[in-house]
Structure 1
């Protein structure tokens, strides 16, 4: 072939490849567009809607907090959140890879241990049983794989590397706590039931989770799984995956064995309910406390780190392990600010604290000393 012919041929092949790539991209976009409606989840109908309507938390067509809460965006005169998001000087990402660990094998079957996988996803190993909290293994917490907050670190283990589970708990239906792809993978790869607040079962039902594996609970309701008493308890937050808000309930969780107890906040602002939960269900050997994604613009739906210590003490907690930080960029504060503030407050108030790396197994009775591992990459 003459040089000119080779050039023309290369151009033709280039156009063909670009065209093929374009078609593939369009096909990918079409797939994502098709998948987004499913990721939005289901709606309450029939018996599920009738049960929700009977809940003390449900009125005027939506779920409500116990004593109301400040609107999502509180008045903050003179502040431009969009400008702060784009031009703010906060260091909202780590400067180096987040260190990941593979969980060490348990040393004894009856150890109470916690494995934090990142964000709010954690594994509780209690009296030989395993309970998984708010699992999200997707790259983004979003209904779309193309847009939305992206992970700042990989999961420390693959989903198919998780041990056999006895229960999977979901605190509420926001995308950083309830992820369609993760739920579908766990449905196929595990046999454990999903325990969820009222209404969240509609999402799972749409995603193919068998009805017998969906257990919906209102606040104060309990369910026994594999010898554990699991109770949905109050939280101060909100819900929603599409334009509709508060159509499903949100909750914190109590996980109780015969001898050991664990509390998980889910997402919540600080409220009087923690003291009531501590009085009824405490003391707790360990609490998993939400500390990140706070802002004075939404003070009632996420706790500030100091409030997490308040809540831990209200709950009569032993060891405090922070969650809901480090993995997704969901607020305007520095990446390391939540855990720095928490550590300072815990030291000032003599609260036992463990801050694991993602994937690190913490033995509750012998927690590792806090070593400030995050500071060198902040």
Structure 2
């Protein structure tokens, strides 16, 4: 990463932080040199005013038949992955317990009485969580950075919270007990003697309000475990697949990829920031992971497709690509996968 001098960035909260200009920071905003800028306010309004004609109705409640009660620890080289819902996971290995983009709140929203509402319970009840050592937060959108959940975790477990640059400001504004640590793309963090993490570029963007677009950074994660590397993509568009091929080249071979398949309609609006299932199948081919798990679907209605459309479209895309369906599986909240 090239550095050309320091600048101070002001967020929507009025807080500032200092950051050198780089190949993905212009002194005011972060950007992806291989990505696309977020849609304009005019485009947002165009989508919102046309939604009633295209938006598919979701059931008010779509419960999962599964619920997980995880063990306190998973020792040795085995990796246990429990799907909490949306983009939230509990990953346990080598005596370490990690949460990904945890959200136990009823709504993915800056306000409690409006915004996308849960359609199913978290796959693990909050009180059933084991001791949490680390939390990975990919970016600042409300369905990924939920300060209410982070505050509950801080009060109960006081975990490390690993997040891209700038997202700590929103966390500490809400609760100074949240132990946020920020990192740039390509930085590697050791979580234990046998588990490490690298932040990698992803095709997305971030904001918490109307006037702080891309004032913080966003990332995917490559998690090194005794059972192999896990590529965790919490939100991403596909583009030309370059981001996924770079991860394969730099961090491969990958044992597992966790890839988003939902929140993709209408395509004219969502294409640059969210993959559809066909894109996700191409991303699996590009990153070269042995297996994949799908997420970012079925819990919060963020966009216009039906609640069951992502899984149906995933199956169709896998069949079209002649990839066995068991190589890329969509779990329901509360289901568990183990690697050894």
| TM-score, normalised via structure 2 length | 0.85
Could you say which residue in structure 2 is the equivalent of 1:254? 222
**Of 273, 286, 297, which aligns to 1:301?**
273
Structure whose CA Rg is larger: 1
Match of 2:3 in 1: none
Which stretches in structure 1 are left out of the alignment for 5+ residues? 1-39, 366-378
Q: What is residue 285 of structure 1 aligned with on the other side? A: 255
Contact 2:78 2:226 in 1 (8 A): no
Q: Which moved more, 1:86-95 or 1:150-159?
A: 86-95
- Offset from partner CA, 1:252-308 (integer Å, 9 cap, x none): 001102442111112111141110111111122111101110121221111111111
Q: 2:51 aligns with which of 85, 95, 112?
A: 85
User: 2:196 aligned with 1:226, yes or no?
Assistant: no
Q: Measure how far apart 1:203 and its partner are.
A: 1.3
| Match of residue 337 from structure 1 | 309
Q: Does residue 145 of structure 1 match 2:112? A: yes
Contact 1:43–1:203 (8 Å) recurs in 2 = no
CA contact (8 A) 1:160 1:189 kept: no
Contact 2:78–2:227 (CA<8 Å) still a contact in 1?
no
Residue of 66, 85, 106 corresponding to 1:118 = 85
CA distance in 2, matches of 1:73, 1:304: 21
RMSD: 2.6
Q: Pairwise mapping of residues 96-115 of structure 1 onto structure 2 (< 5 A)?
A: 96-103=62-69, 105=71, 109-115=76-82
Task: Identify the match of residue 216 of structure 1 among 177, 182, 185.
Answer: 182
Distance 1:107 1:141, change over 3 A: closer
Contact 2:256 2:292 (C-alpha < 8 Å) held by counterparts: yes
- Residue 319 of structure 1, CA deviation: 1.6
Cα 1:120–1:89, aligned 2, differ >3 Å: closer, same or farther?
Answer: closer
Instruction: Identify if the C-alpha distance between structure 1 residues 345 and 102 changes in structure 2 by more than 3 Å, giving closer, same or farther.
Output: same
- 2:246 equivalent in structure 1: 276
SS in 2 for 1:341: helix
SS in 1 for 2:316: helix
Verify the 8 A CA contact 2:206 2:218 in the aligned structure 1: yes
Cα pair distance change 1:216/1:284, threshold 3 Å: same
Provide the rounded CA distance (Å) in 2 between the counterparts of 1:96 and 1:158. Answer: 16
